[in-house]
Chains A and B, each alone.
Chain A
């Protein structure tokens, strides 16, 4: 069986797919690729089925060696890319000969880069998904140097584009559209205005669970504790510090702090590409 051999992982590389559905009532979250759009593009380029598992590299640094000839695509945060020391292009169909090594540098902008392989990463699924949920500790082990990831049989279809023209991912500033609620009534009227007019910076205490933001405090209008309730990705949960946390793919299934607003699902891929230091503006 063909395989991807992990040579180096950078700060964090995980196996991800579209996520785990139907187990939320057991306390199991969805997980899945944080930037679902870039992940889906990589699979589409290779004519993979939509849910084929791929690698999600955080801040680049991923190096893999092809065991057997492989066809791959790299999407998401733009990284300097090399195959056996020669420059290669993002968002293209790349053919790796047996033994060829693909190397990602540091992304110039954005945070998460996807490496999909034709046939998909074929590790055993856990509860119907090959996504690693870093919060719940579910799914495939996090790959380390030396890990051999089996590659599945190639799909019936063939890639029919060589290059996907996509706008650059990430940047120093990003604007995300939100819908107020479900708990905006727990905050002062000024809090929502503050959220919609001030910039919030992504801090380094951010991961696949959520982006912890720093900026003007969002004040509550009522005391007391909110009984824990279900959360969705994109929720802007406000802990007692008053600075919001933007929940991403591995967010807890339930949370005990009020959510002032939720980022629209179409803007979540951009939220997942906001690296520490990015200024986020929220708009209706």
Chain B
């Protein structure tokens, strides 16, 4: 663990991998550190945004003492099942990049149990990870100016679902009708850090 500071506004904790990100995020939720207003987990880091006047040195010292629960001891998060029509424009490109057939991509994507590692990019956009390294693909060389809401996509080690229509550079596999972000729901985001996700093919 390496602890960096963002002036007097934040403490950025760098950890070894996503497993530690998830563990630290969960630990900070269970036992909040005083002076922390917001916790922002990301790919290799957890940012603690400070309340005005908080001492970054004190928060940095406190976070070093936070015990990371070993993976096995953590409570299972809730599981969300997302029905997906796999007719995405990049399915053939993803097949090419992975060495699988388009059918094989769909099978791998639906067979895996995904976990939301963190959110970012847009409200409710979750970065989901799984153990199947065959599905690691680069982003598209050129991003699209408009990706429709509900698009299910891959990029890097992640899969994600666009909560609303936006520009995007991820490889599109298909689409879901499920509302990923709904302000009339509490919490509004379906894909929150720690939530497990399975994709189910609908034809």
A181 touches B4 (CB 8 A): yes
Q: Would you call A25 an interface residue if the criterion is a C-beta within 8 Å of the partner chain's C-beta atoms?
A: yes
CB neighbours (8 Å) of A269 from chain B are: none
Of B6, B25, B122, the residue contacting A25 (CB under 8 A) is B25
A131 to chain B, nearest CB (A): 13
Q: How far is the CA of A136 from the CA of B43 in the complex (A)?
A: 21
Q: How far is the CB of B127 from chain A (nearest CB, A)?
A: 8
The one of A183, A232, A252 that contacts B47, using a Cβ cutoff of 8 Å: A232
CA A230 – CA B4 in complex, angstroms?
Answer: 12
Contact pick for A265, options B9, B25, B47, CB 8 Å: B9
Interface bits A114-136 vs B (CB < 8 Å: 1, else 0)? 00000000000011000000001
Q: Are B37 and A262 in contact (CB-based, < 8 A)?
A: no
Residue from B7, B42, B124, B126 having most chain A Cβ neighbours under 10 A? B7
Would B42 and A25 count as touching, CB distance under 8 A? no
Given known A182-B12, A230-B47, A232-B10, contact A25–B41 (CB-CB < 8 A): yes
**Contact status A232-B9, CB under 8 Å:** yes
Residues A127 and B183 in contact, CB atoms below 8 Å apart = yes
B108 within 8 A of A: no
**Complex Cα spacing A178 to B6, Å:** 10
Whether the Cβ atoms of A24 and B7 lie closer than 8 Å is: no
- B38–A231 touching, CB < 8 Å: no
Chain A residue numbers with a CB within 8 Å of B193 are 25
Q: Which residues of B lie under 8 Å from residue A182 when comparing CB positions? A: 4-6, 12
Docked Cα-Cα span, A183 to B14, in Å, equals 11
A259 within 8 A of B: yes
Interface segment out of the listed A3-11, A26-34, A73-81: A26-34
Whether a CB of chain B sits under 8 angstroms from the CB of A158 is no
The distance from the CB of B87 to the nearest CB of chain A, in whole angstroms, is 26
Minimum distance in angstroms from B173 CB to a CB of chain A: 21
Whether A25 touches B192, Cβ cut-off 8 Å, given contacts A228-B42, A229-B12, A262-B6, is yes
Chain A residues within an 8 Å CB radius of B124 = 26-27
Instruction: Pick the residue among B42, B47, B119 that contacts A26 (CB under 8 A).
Output: B119
CB atoms of A22 and B187 under 8 A apart = no
Q: Is B81 an interface residue (CB 8 A)?
A: no
Q: Are B192 and A227 in contact (CB under 8 A)?
A: no
Q: A181-B4, A259-B6 are in contact. Are A230 and B42 (CB under 8 A)?
A: yes
A26 touches B187 (CB 8 A): yes
Do A231 and B47 touch across chains, with their CB atoms under 8 A apart?
Answer: yes
**A244 contacts the other chain (CB 8 A):** no
B104 at the interface (CB under 8 A from A): no
Which residues of B in the span 135-173 have a Cβ within 8 Å of any Cβ on A? 164
Chain B residue at smallest Cβ distance from A231: B47
Q: How far is the CA of A28 from the CA of B6 in the complex (A)?
A: 19
Beyond A21-B37, A254-B42, 9 additional pairs, beta carbon < 8 A = A26-B124, A28-B123, A182-B12, A227-B42, A227-B43, A231-B47, A232-B6, A234-B7, A252-B121
- Ordered by A's residue number, 29 sampled pairs between the chains whose C-beta atoms are within 8 Å are A24-B38, A24-B40, A25-B25, A25-B41, A26-B124, A27-B119, A27-B120, A127-B188, A136-B123, A179-B5, A179-B6, A181-B5, A183-B4, A227-B42, A227-B44, A228-B120, A229-B43, A229-B47, A230-B41, A232-B7, A232-B47, A233-B9, A234-B6, A235-B6, A252-B120, A252-B121, A261-B7, A262-B10, A265-B9
| Interface positions of A (Cβ within 8 A of B) | 21-28, 30, 126-127, 136-138, 178-179, 181-183, 227-235, 252-254, 259, 261-265
